[in-house]
Copies of this chain bind each other. A is one copy, B any other.
Amino acid sequence: MTTRIKEIFQTGQPDQSVTVQGWVRTKRELKEFTFLEVNDGSSLANLQVILEPTLPDYENVLKTISTGTAIAVSGNLVPSPGKGQNIELKAAEITLYGDCPADYPLQKKRHSFEFLRTIAHLRARTNTLGAVMRVRNACATAIHTFFQEKGFIWVHTPIITANDCEGAGELFTVTSLDLKKPANFAEDFFGKRAYLTVSGQLQAEVMAMALSNVYTFGPTFRAENSNTSRHLAEFWMVEPEMAFCDLEGDQDLAEAFLKYIFKFVLENCPEDLQFFNERIDKTVLSTAENIVNSEFGRITYSEAIELLEKADRQFEFPVEWGVDLQSEHERYLAEELFKKPVIVTNYPKTIKAFYMRLDDSNKTVSAMDILAPKIGEIIGGSQREERLDVLIQRMQEQGMNPDDLWWYLELRRYGSVPHAGFGLGFERLVQFMTGMTNIRDVIPFPRTPLSADF
């Protein structure tokens, strides 16, 4: 019976007999004995293992073990005289699973994140990427737990879609044609051109109109040729949708949601967050605590514009009512003015999507963006337009053909209700949580222009 290393640190007692299985991170040979640092991915900290010359076949074992080797170690736990860990393992028996030749790329030294991306099949064995994967998992678990506790239903909206008008963004085509000649989509698998989804929102609205409260959590796609540290061609998105909900309820849910996730990860991954705070970004913990403990600011777009106009500085992008907020504006509001997350609502209709509910002013829509210190926009949402005639007019204003979304419009014909929802880019959340600056380092296998390796 094997014990995970995380468990040993949590509940291991001196004299307890255990077997651990993992990979050797370092070997340090001293005159009297040898230290191994062993990691099994369950925790950031390695378990220190002591090999004494009395160990069967000591010399031979030492020769075969190096950084990267996979082993099992059985023995007794002993109190650790060193600082840091409270406990270590005195080996009585070692089993070698797989050795590791000297060309193993993860020798003990600092590697750049750029280099690690070229060995994405090995990089989760490093401290930083291992911690990212554990925090990513904790974020995902927090999301499911939050919604399930509130009675929301997880709905799997389709990845392949024939709607080319779901939202902003360039689309990938999905096809089973051989493509040796010009494509005739009438002969394609779905009988028409199909795409990868950019959002599950429209279909989530369908499910909310039957089940009241639902959420999606799945992959979405953008074929934008953006080779930046902020863009992925494939990323995961969370999109709750609530029937019988207005913009205020939407803000309440989003604020409770973010607080819950940060609290959950603070409680469940303290060691990993501490690591990020020390090694990656010294504001990781204070940012998380700020989210958990602040009451989010709430202002309208018009108020935001007024505040920006009064600001004692020049912005690169000039501010006036009607323009979209730029990153510099968002950061000024959240970081400098409010010093906490702030929700901006009721944006001009001209800069927002067709499905957002038109306000009585006829000038703004019931949209909301949550701006957070350091990261900018973390959540975007809205109350949806539930009035059939207004929705059709908004689509026409934006040059869309209402017939293309006949089923979406029918939700407004048959028992329409006020409803609202929002979207959270999952990788942005993980970046926010860990302080990692490049989005490619918070997803196991990033897909970006010219790169779909592994």
Contact = CB atoms under 8 A, between A and B. Distances in A.
Contacts of A210: 23, 41, 122, 124-125, 129-130, 133
A194 interface: yes
Contact of A203 (B125, B412, B445): B445
B175 A179 contact: yes
A418 interface: yes
A174 interface: yes
Instruction: Report which residue of A97, A134, A191, A454 has the largest number of chain B beta carbons within 10 angstroms of its beta carbon.
Output: A454
Interface in A218-277: 218-219, 221, 223, 225, 233-234, 236, 243-244
B172 A154 contact: no
A418 to B, nearest CB: 7
A158 B176 CA distance: 19
A407 B179 contact: no
A175 B452 CA distance: 12
A151 B8 CA distance: 14
Nearest to A225: B189
Copies assembled: 2
Interface in A399-447: 407-408, 410-418, 443-445, 447
Contacts of A13: none
A444 to B, nearest CB: 6
A183 B189 contact: no
A140 interface: yes
Contacts of A233: 160, 189-190
Interface string A171-190: 11111110111110000011
Interface of A: 2, 4, 6, 21-24, 40-42, 68-70, 72, 97-101, 104, 106, 120-122, 124-125, 129-130, 133-134, 136-137, 140-141, 144, 148, 151, 153-162, 170-177, 179-183, 189-192, 194, 196, 203, 206-207, 209-212, 218-219, 221, 223, 225, 233-234, 236, 243-244, 386, 407-408, 410-418, 443-445, 447, 449-454
17 contacts: A21-B243, A41-B210, A42-B211, A68-B415, A70-B415, A97-B416, A98-B415, A121-B411, A137-B155, A158-B444, A160-B221, A160-B447, A160-B452, A173-B176, A179-B183, A189-B449, A218-B219
